Amino acid sequence: MARRTARDLRSENRFEVLHALFELGPSTRQELARHTGLSPATVATIVTEFLSEGVLRVATVENNTGGRPQERLTIDPERGRIVGVDVAETYVDATVYDLELGVLGHGEVALDEHENDPSYVVDGIVRAIEAAVADGGVQQKRILGVGVSMPGHVHPDAGVSVFAPNWDWHDVRIEELLEKVLPVPVYVDNPLKAVVLSEMWFGVGRVVDSMAVVNLGTGVGAGIAIDGSLMRGATNNAGEWGHTLLRLDGRPCRCGRRGCVEAYLGAPGLRTTLAEIDPDHPTLAQSRQRDFVEAVALGLDAGDPALKELALRTSRYLAAALGDLVNLLNIPSVTLTGWTSTALARWLVPAVRAELPDHVMPGSLQGLTVEPSQVPGNAVALGMAAFTLQRFLTRLGLGSPAGTRPRPDPEP
Amino acid sequence: MARRTARDLRSENRFEVLHALFELGPSTRQELARHTGLSPATVATIVTEFLSEGVLRVATVENNTGGRPQERLTIDPERGRIVGVDVAETYVDATVYDLELGVLGHGEVALDEHENDPSYVVDGIVRAIEAAVADGGVQQKRILGVGVSMPGHVHPDAGVSVFAPNWDWHDVRIEELLEKVLPVPVYVDNPLKAVVLSEMWFGVGRVVDSMAVVNLGTGVGAGIAIDGSLMRGATNNAGEWGHTLLRLDGRPCRCGRRGCVEAYLGAPGLRTTLAEIDPDHPTLAQSRQRDFVEAVALGLDAGDPALKELALRTSRYLAAALGDLVNLLNIPSVTLTGWTSTALARWLVPAVRAELPDHVMPGSLQGLTVEPSQVPGNAVALGMAAFTLQRFLTRLGLGSPAGTRPRPDPEP
Ligand SMILES: [Zn+2]
Ligand SMILES: [Zn+2]
């Protein structure tokens, strides 16, 4: 079996320290060692490297009675800028962050879902980034890296969109295309990996280290972390919960199989359910998916009985499909994210919780929490920014252009 | 988040060295360090401890030109005996092993599945162990520990059968009951955890470090390992793939839910499928489950058309349910184990492989292997023996009776 290399371990230790700083805020070396479980010597080395590279700065110095002065360290938000990009089937959403992953600016571009040329999508990404950069008043040259979440099956190390069924893309070298037009390192990954990282760093990961982050939008999927490790699978394809069965030989799914969870819980699946309840329901006239889901939420507010039945059936499907996830993985925490979750959480979450005992084994039900995500802003963009920050730290001090770049001037 | 303690780490490192010795056979300290990724100093410390405790011995000394003599180390099979016990609903199967987990003796006792008194089950376990010990000509006093796999939800640290639906057991303190009658440390766990450990150490784990081990018997379930770690879940309840959905609102399952995988792929599920095909089929007269499955295998050999249809439908259900597992986890390897797998592998495995492309996402299909287990003997008993050996090593040198026991006399 392949073992971790010394370089892997060095990167992992750096991420542990960084992650601890996000969790604890300004910390002493001792606090970082205690929190990470790393040796004081390892923490001291990493802190020294980070200080010399400008990633950390000394926030305060405390003079303890009888001891040496204690430096309290913090991430230096001004060290540079990171961009996180969420590319979905109908939009590109870009956010610029400082090095503490505080939001500086935001930009959004609509995509025509019938256009599938890579240059069209690349252009959309660039325009969204430009909008975010302008919104934040950020200097282009201060950007240390861009993380781009792409739908479908992505190979992050190769920077390739292996398969994007919505565009019928096969092996599109998206990182290369983007690095031609963006003069900074680009990191690509899949939204399920991004949402679980954002949740591990800024959401439920602060209290649990095993979780599923269930994303409900046009497509559905689950990001999974077990014992603090993001589950990627053999080919970065883990988490395709949307293409597990709810009902063998059930509704056709766009993956070609029948009866998948996505055919019931994706936005088009909700539309199918509503058409089963009332084929003439006026909400079905909404042709754009997000408009449809927003209209469902408004109609539920108004007490529409067909939409109440839709929420009931959808909650039952969701409880059943979450039951499978929990029975298989025995995870203590499920977080709901994505725009369908955001729009409908008020109706879905209580109904799902009520249904869960019918679907979860008793031994896995106790202590199980199902909650809407508390991560602020676009969780996909935030997760991609966190990946990009990780990658930046891995390259730091290894002679890469980003790593050796001198500390730039502040924005005017 | 809780971090690993120094003691956890010390135990993990010991297991890594032990596991490497199982994988490599007699090895030098350098080879162990290279294989485990541990530092030479850590390996040297562990080897010294293991040598002083009699767990290892020096197999050979090689005189390399110019270098120091190289000791090649091996597990000392004579250091003691370990018993692994597979308790199922209708039988207890016990195996005695040497410290290299070589089989010395075997014993089996039938259980009346309508008896649910814990003392009845404990008595069956004791009689099976006695039979195995007699079969192997092993001295009772040489036994270092007994590992017992119990059906249902088990809490290994507490030694408790939390819930065994087949016996309607709730919180039965099974380890305590067994330690009253067996004068050695007892370790209890669940068969899904045992089969995956046996597979990690002695089966596909030699070539992959992420896998599902799918157990088909009366009940069905999946042991899961990701990146070399056994997945236990929050309450040791991970792997209940048998109670994930094949078909919402489908066949009633004994868990109380409808449409679970187990209702189609457990031995009683196979019987239901056959009754759907031909309610008067003579094989249905077999009332014992294992007899029924054996009769199905014989009838398939003879070309019985109803049984061929049964194999076809069962393969399709199995491919669909494995598709869910692979789509969610993106694991590269599925191993089939359990007595239904053993009896029907010849028919199921080729048919399942042919069906898989209809159920697995393309990005997770490439390189996926589905194979019958190659682990010899009873994989549950072997896995329990491996757990017991791990626990023995954890206690070694910590002042426990087993740890400080002097090296006993050899068997006569
Ligand atoms: Zn599908
Ligand atoms: Zn069930």
The class level of CATH for B79-194+377-395 reads: alpha beta
Query: What architecture (CATH level 2) is domain B6-75?
Result: Orthogonal Bundle (1.10)
- State which residue of chain A sits closest to B6, comparing Cα positions: A37
Kindly report the nearest CA distance between residue B207 and chain A, in angstroms.
6
Helix axes B6-24, B379-395, angle to 10 degrees: 130
Distance A240 CA to ligand 1 centre (A): 9
Q: Rounded mean pLDDT of A165-188?
A: 93
* DSSP single-letter state for residue A406: P
Task: Quote the CA–CA distance of B238 and B235 in Å, as a whole number.
Answer: 8
Mutate to test the interface with A, among B244, B247, B253 (most CBs of A within 10 A): B244
Distance B81 CA to ligand 2 centre (A): 38
What the block records as the tokens of B227 is 């990146």
Residues of B in contact with A16 (CB under 8 A): none
Is A118 a residue whose pLDDT tops 90? yes
Residues of B in contact with A357 (CB under 8 A): none
Cβ–Cβ of B328/A210 closer than 8 Å? no
Distance A114 CA to ligand 1 centre (A): 20
Distance A25 CA to ligand 1 centre (A): 42
Is A191 a residue whose pLDDT tops 70? yes
Report the pLDDT value the prediction gives residue B405, as an integer from 0 to 100.
Answer: 39
Helix axes A289-301, A267-277, angle to 10 degrees: 50
User: Residue A190: left if φ>0, alpha if ψ -120 to 50, beta else—which one?
Assistant: beta
Q: Quick one: B333 exposed, middle or buried, by C-beta within 10 A (0-12, 13-18, 19+)?
A: buried
What the block records as the tokens of A204 is 């439920």
Is B2 a residue whose pLDDT tops 80? no
Mutate to test the interface with B, among A12, A31, A202, A244 (most CBs of B within 10 A): A244
- State which residue of chain B sits closest to A228, comparing Cα positions: B1
Is B401 a residue whose pLDDT tops 60? no
Contacts 24+ apart (CB under 8 A), A119-126: A119/A177, A121/A87, A121/A92, A121/A167, A122/A174, A122/A177, A122/A178, A122/A181, A124/A87, A124/A92, A125/A85, A125/A87, A125/A92, A125/A94, A125/A178, A126/A178, A126/A181, A126/A182
Is B94 a residue whose pLDDT tops 90? yes
pLDDT tens readout for residues B130-165: 999 999 999 999 999 999 999 999 999 999 999 998
Q: For residues B181, B184, B190 and B191, what is the CA-based torsion angle, rounded to 10 degrees?
A: -100
Whole-prediction pTM: 0.91
Let me know if the fold of B79-194+377-395 is the same as that of B206-372.
Answer: yes
Residues of A in contact with B228 (CB under 8 A): 1
CA A96 to chain centre: 15
For residue B220, give the ligand nearest its CA.
2
Is A246 a residue whose pLDDT tops 70? yes
User: Residue B410: left if φ>0, alpha if ψ -120 to 50, beta else—which one?
Assistant: beta
Secondary structure in 3-state letters for chain B: CCCCCHHHHHHHHHHHHHHHHHHHCCECHHHHHHHHCCCHHHHHHHHHHHHHCCCEEEEEEEECCCCCEEEEEEECHHHCEEEEEEECCCEEEEEEEECCCCEEEEEEEECCCCCCCHHHHHHHHHHHHHHHHHHHCCCHHHEEEEEEECCCEEECCCCEEEEECCCCEEEECHHHHHHHHCCCCEEEECHHHHHHHHHHHHCHHHCCCCEEEEEECCCEEEEEEECCEECCCCCCCCCCHHHCECECCCCECCCCCECECHHHHCHHHHHHHHHHHCCCCHHHHCCCHHHHHHHHHHHHHCCCHHHHHHHHHHHHHHHHHHHHHHHHHCCCEEEEECHHHHHHHHHHHHHHHHHHHHCCCHHHHCCCEEEECCCCCCHHHHHHHHHHHHHHHHHCCCCCHHHHCCCCCCCC
Percentage of the residues of chain A whose pLDDT score is greater than 70: 93
Of B163, B244, B323, the CB nearest to A363: B163
User: Residue A137: left if φ>0, alpha if ψ -120 to 50, beta else—which one?
Assistant: left
* Domain spans in chain B, listed from the N-terminal domain onward: 6-75, 79-194+377-395, 206-372
Q: Quick one: B193 exposed, middle or buried, by C-beta within 10 A (0-12, 13-18, 19+)?
A: buried
Of A228, A244, A362, the CB nearest to B163: A362
Residues of A in contact with B196 (CB under 8 A): none
Which of B99, B30, B39 has its CA nearest to residue B69? B30
What the block records as the tokens of A6 is 């010394």
pLDDT tens readout for residues B341-368: 999 999 999 999 999 999 999 999 999 9
What ipTM is given for this predicted complex?
0.91
Distance A327 CA to ligand 2 centre (A): 10
Provide the H-helix boundaries in A57-187. 118-136, 174-181
For residue B359, give the ligand nearest its CA.
1
Task: Quote the CA–CA distance of A333 and B234 in Å, as a whole number.
Answer: 10
CB pairs under 8 A between A and B: 168
CB A144 within 8 A of CB A184: yes
Give the SS3 label for residue A82. strand
- State which residue of chain B sits closest to A9, comparing Cα positions: B37
> What are the angstrom distances between the C-alpha of A390 and each of A18, A148, A397, B326?
9, 14, 13, 28
Task: Quote the CA–CA distance of B71 and B93 in Å, as a whole number.
Answer: 39
Is A6 a residue whose pLDDT tops 80? no
Dihedral sign (CA A6, A9, A15, A19) = negative
Report the pLDDT value the prediction gives residue B397, as an integer from 0 to 100.
Answer: 65
Kindly report the nearest CA distance between residue A203 and chain B, in angstroms.
13
pLDDT tens readout for residues B366-383: 999 999 999 999 999 999
Task: Quote the CA–CA distance of A354 and A385 in Å, as a whole number.
Answer: 36
Of A234, A317, A364, the CB nearest to B331: A234
- What is chain A's mean pLDDT, rounded? 91
> What are the angstrom distances between the C-alpha of A365 and each of A353, B257, B279?
10, 14, 38
Task: Quote the CA–CA distance of A207 and A264 in Å, as a whole number.
Answer: 31
Task: Quote the CA–CA distance of B192 and B150 in Å, as a whole number.
Answer: 10
What the block records as the tokens of B185 is 């440390």
Task: Quote the CA–CA distance of B310 and A308 in Å, as a whole number.
Answer: 42
Cβ–Cβ of B234/A327 closer than 8 Å? no
Cβ–Cβ of A238/B330 closer than 8 Å? yes
Question: CB within 8 A of A93, min separation 6: which ones?
Answer: A85, A86, A106, A107, A108, A128, A378, A380, A381
Q: Of 3.30.420.40, 3.50.50.60, 3.40.50.300, 3.30.930.10, which CATH number belongs to A206-372?
A: 3.30.420.40
CB B293 within 8 A of CB B339: yes
Cβ–Cβ of A210/B234 closer than 8 Å? yes
- State which residue of chain A sits closest to B366, comparing Cα positions: A235
Distance A313 CA to ligand 2 centre (A): 21
Report the pLDDT value the prediction gives residue B90, as an integer from 0 to 100.
Answer: 85
Q: Rounded mean pLDDT of B65-92?
A: 90
Report the pLDDT value the prediction gives residue B1, as an integer from 0 to 100.
Answer: 39
Distance A177 CA to ligand 1 centre (A): 29
Task: Quote the CA–CA distance of B262 and B187 in Å, as a whole number.
Answer: 27
Q: How many CB atoms lie within 10 A of CB B342?
A: 16
pLDDT tens readout for residues B249-307: 999 999 999 999 999 999 999 999 999 999 999 999 999 888 999 999 999 999 999 99
Report the pLDDT value the prediction gives residue A408, as an integer from 0 to 100.
Answer: 44
CB B154 within 8 A of CB B235: no
> What are the angstrom distances between the C-alpha of A17 and each of A35, A76, A225, A386, A404?
9, 14, 19, 14, 21
Q: For residues B257, B259, B265 and B266, what is the CA-based torsion angle, rounded to 10 degrees?
A: 20
Which of A54, A60, A88 has its CA nearest to residue A73? A60
Kindly report the nearest CA distance between residue A401 and chain B, in angstroms.
31
What the block records as the tokens of B355 is 């069906």
The two most distant CA atoms of chain A are separated, in Å, by 79
What are the residues whose beta carbon lies below 5 Å from ligand 2 (ion)?
Answer: B 243, 253, 255, 257, 260
What the block records as the tokens of B243 is 């109670």
Name residue B106's beta-bridge partners: B95
CB B98 within 8 A of CB B118: no
Is A151 a residue whose pLDDT tops 60? yes
Distance B244 CA to ligand 2 centre (A): 7
- State which residue of chain B sits closest to A247, comparing Cα positions: B247
